[in-house]
Amino acid sequence: MSEKMYPIPFDSLMNWVTSEYAQCGDVFGVHKHYHGSGKSLPIFGERIETPFGPAAGPNSQLAQNIIAAYAAGARFFEVKTVQKMDGAELAACVPRPCILAADEGYNQEWSTELTVQQAQDEYIKAWCALKVMSKVYGFGDPDGFVFNMSVGYDLDGIKGRKINTYINSMMDAGKTAQFKECKKVLTELFPEEKDFIASISPNVSRSVTLSTLHGCPPQEIERIASYLLKEKHLHTFVKCNPTILGYKTARSILDSMGYDYIVFDEHHFNEDLQWEDAVPM
C-alpha cells in the first residue's frame, strides 16, 4: 500500500466500477456482494440494512474504500475524522507506518491526511456512487445506509471556518461543485436513471461522532457535544478512548491475553476523561 492516499476523479472512479462489474462482477476486488433483504433498522431518523460498517480510519478515507465496504455489506459508515490540521501538515506529524498490525495492532494516525476539502469530496463521491449502485446493481435500498461524520479535537477548531464549512457541506452538499459533478457523471453513465439521479439527496450526513484526543478535558468534550447538538442540530456520539477503563484494568486485560510485553505507563490514563466524569456528562 502506498504511503500516500490519492483521490480518484469521479468519472474515472465510476468507469472503474462499471467496467470491473461488467467484466467479472467484482467491485474493487470484492467478489461476494451483500444484497439487502428488505429488512432495516432505524437510526437517527434514517434506516440501515445492516448494523455494522467501518469506523473512522484509513478504510473510510477514500471513496473506493467506502464503495468496497458497501459491496461487502457495510451500511453504517463513520467517515474518517477531520480537524483543523490537515493535508501535508498532518502527514508530517504521523510516524510511518502509521498502522502496524503484524500481531497486536499499533495505530499512530488520528485524522485524515487528505485536506478537509479533499475528504469532503471523497465522502460526497462515495455517497452518490452508493445511491446509484444500490439501485442499478440491486445491492439494496438506496436509503438503506448512513454516513456519520467524525470531527475533532477542540471547540475552536470545530467552530472555525474550515471545519464549519465541512459540516455544513456534509449536511447539505447541494451547492458543492463535487455533488454537481457526481450527478452529471452518473447521468451520462446511466441515462435511463436520470430521474432517480436527479433526486439523490444532498444531505450526506445528519449525524456526527466527536473524536477526542488523549488528554481532552471533560469540560471541553461537553462543550463540543453541546455545540454539535444545540447549534448544528446533529445527532451526536461521543467517542471515549480505551483509557477510560483505567490503567489497572487495561494492564490486567492485556496481561491475561498474553500481551504482557506491551509497555505503557499511566500518563494518558491519568490525563484522559475519567469514568466518574463521563457518566454525569
Q: Nearest CA to 96 among 59, 58, 61?
A: 58
Angle at 136 between CA 22 and CA 50, to 5 degrees: 110
The reported pLDDT for the residue numbered 1 is 53
Based on the fold, state whether residues 176 and 249 are members of the same structural domain: no
Q: Would you mind telling me the total number of residues written for the chain in this entry? A: 281
Based on the fold, state whether residues 15 and 143 are members of the same structural domain: yes
- Residue 5 in any domain: the answer is no
Q: Are 80 and 99 in contact (CB under 8 A)?
A: no
- Residue 4 in any domain: the answer is no
Strands 235-239 and 205-211: parallel
Query: What pTM, to 2 d.p., does this model score?
Result: 0.93
Of 68-72, 139-143, 150-154, minimum mean pLDDT range:
150-154
Based on the fold, state whether residues 25 and 117 are members of the same structural domain: yes
Cα separation of 57 and 42, whole Å?
A: 24
- Residue 252 in any domain: the answer is yes
Q: Are 62 and 118 in contact (CB under 8 A)?
A: no
Based on the fold, state whether residues 138 and 247 are members of the same structural domain: no
Based on the fold, state whether residues 125 and 264 are members of the same structural domain: no
Question: Average pLDDT, stretch 76-97?
Answer: 84
Model confidence at 88, pLDDT cuts 50, 70, 90, reads: confident
Based on the fold, state whether residues 171 and 265 are members of the same structural domain: no
Based on the fold, state whether residues 126 and 147 are members of the same structural domain: yes
Decide if pLDDT at 223 tops 70: yes
The reported pLDDT for the residue numbered 2 is 63
Cα separation of 9 and 170, whole Å?
A: 19
The reported pLDDT for the residue numbered 85 is 84
What residue numbers bound the domain in which 248 lies?
240-281
Higher pLDDT, 247 or 271: 247
Model confidence at 58, pLDDT cuts 50, 70, 90, reads: confident
Query: DSSP for 155-196?
Result: HHHHHSHHHHHHHHHHH--TTSHHHHHHHHHHHHH-GGGHHH
Of 17-21, 40-44, 50-54, 108-112, minimum mean pLDDT range:
108-112
The reported pLDDT for the residue numbered 116 is 96
Based on the fold, state whether residues 88 and 225 are members of the same structural domain: yes
Cα separation of 248 and 241, whole Å?
A: 15
Question: Average pLDDT, stretch 111-134?
Answer: 95
Based on the fold, state whether residues 145 and 221 are members of the same structural domain: yes
- Residue 2 in any domain: the answer is no
- Residue 213 in any domain: the answer is yes
The reported pLDDT for the residue numbered 186 is 98
Of 111-115, 154-158, 185-189, minimum mean pLDDT range:
111-115
Based on the fold, state whether residues 147 and 256 are members of the same structural domain: no
Based on the fold, state whether residues 190 and 99 are members of the same structural domain: yes
Burial 238-265 (b: 16+ CB within 10 A, else e): beebebeebeeebbeeeeeeeeeeeeee
pLDDT in tens, 198-220: 999 999 999 999 988 767 888 89
Cα separation of 113 and 143, whole Å?
A: 29
Question: Average pLDDT, stretch 247-269?
Answer: 94
Based on the fold, state whether residues 90 and 112 are members of the same structural domain: yes
Cα separation of 79 and 58, whole Å?
A: 9
> Looking at the 3D structure of the chain, how many domains does it have?
2
